Amino acid sequence: MCPLNKKTFCGYVAIVGRPNVGKSTLLNRLVGQKISITSRRPQTTRHSILGIRTDDAVQAIYVDTPGLHTKAIKELNRQLNKAASGVLQDVDVVIFVIDSLKWTDDDQLVLEKLQRINCPVILVLNKVDTLEDKKQLLPKLSELQERYPFKTIIPLSAKKNTQVDTLIHEVNRLLPEGPHFFAEDLVTDRNMTFIAAEIVREKLFRILGQEIPYAIAVQIESFKEENNIAHIHAIIWVEKESQKAIVIGKGGAVLKNVGQQARIDLEKNLERQVNLKLWVKVREHWADDERALRDLGYDS
């Protein structure tokens, strides 16, 4: 805990980038705990999630955002873009994450949005552990520095936890002086109801892989604790009956597997026994319905 007369520093740090560049994995590394779900599927992150890291006098409030993308066809996609763009207006530092040496139209979209802000931007080249020839890095760094006046460029691997400490140090150095906004032992602003829904959705993405319908959402219907047991009832929403059959699986095998894996993670988080029950229901065209998106917590 900081002495009362010691200067303190605090600020918001947006983590932005196109889908599937490793923003959520990076957030989990930055705060030292898994608070944002991950999968190999693009656009796994659908909400802005705060991850809070307090190092003595410095508190960094990281904001994980949905991936910005040019092909925003459905209303859900447009809401995700709006949520990610809106975060940029009220932060003290931005971390722009790209996938090692790759540059796409979606990366360019993010860069164009950065032209409208005034705070320092750190460019992170994630997944450098996958590069076969590290000599390619130096010319790429020079090329990227010409695209935008980045405060600094940091190659790292969130998956391998390489150079993440360098990023933390650079962020802490850029934060403004001011009081801490959160208690020093807090790592996220999200409650367990939200985290439970996200854990179930993560397991669906990981277990179903390419079969998973993109238009899938999880809603916690009830969350009660009795006799040191957490009773959680969740609804998995899909848009079509055919998608419902995929999520349930033959003889209910897929849904059972999702429930088992989600329960293991939930028991780790809650440190108690969990009784998890899942239902799959159809809500046609929910990903294009503004009212449905609000009901499911996807309004920007």
* Mean pLDDT value across residues 59-88: 65
Judge residue 247's burial from the number of C-beta atoms within 10 Å of its C-beta, 0-12 exposed, 13-18 middle, 19 or more buried.
buried
Instruction: Identify the residue with better confidence: 210 or 17.
Output: 17
| Residue 155 confidence (pLDDT) above 90 | yes
Over pLDDT 70: what percentage of the chain? 84
pLDDT, tens only, 192-208:
898 899 899 889 988 88
In a domain, 179, yes or no: no
Quote the number of domains for the chain: 2
Q: Is the pLDDT at 137 greater than 70, yes or no?
A: yes
Average pLDDT over residues 151-160: 95
Give yes or no: residues 147 and 205 share one domain: no
Calculate the alpha carbon distances from 43 to 3, 72, 129, 188 in Å: 42, 11, 22, 21
> What's this model's pTM, rounded to 2 decimal places?
0.77
Query: Does residue 182 form part of some domain?
Result: no
Q: Which residues, in sequence order, are CB contacts of 188 under 8 Å at separation 6+?
A: 31, 35, 49, 50, 51, 52, 195
Residues 272 and 164 grouped into a single domain: no
Residues 91 and 230 placed together within one structural domain of the fold: no
| Per-residue pLDDT tens over the stretch 75-85 | 555 555 565 55
Please indicate, yes or no, whether residues 45 and 136 belong to a single structural domain of this protein.
Answer: yes
Do the domain assignments include residue 46? yes
| Residue 53 structural domain | 9-174
Q: What is the mean pLDDT of the chain?
A: 85
Identify whether residues 80 and 212 lie together within a single domain. Answer: no
Q: What is the CATH number of the domain that holds 258?
A: 3.30.300.20
pLDDT band at 69 (very low <50, low <70, confident <90, very high): very low
Pair 233, 240: CB distance under 8 Å: no
Return the minimum-mean-pLDDT range out of 30-34, 153-157, 219-223: 30-34
Residue listed under structure tokens 């996807």: 298
Distance in angstroms (rounded) separating the CA atoms of residues 47 and 298 = 7
For residue 3, is it within any domain? no
Tokens of 29: 């590394």
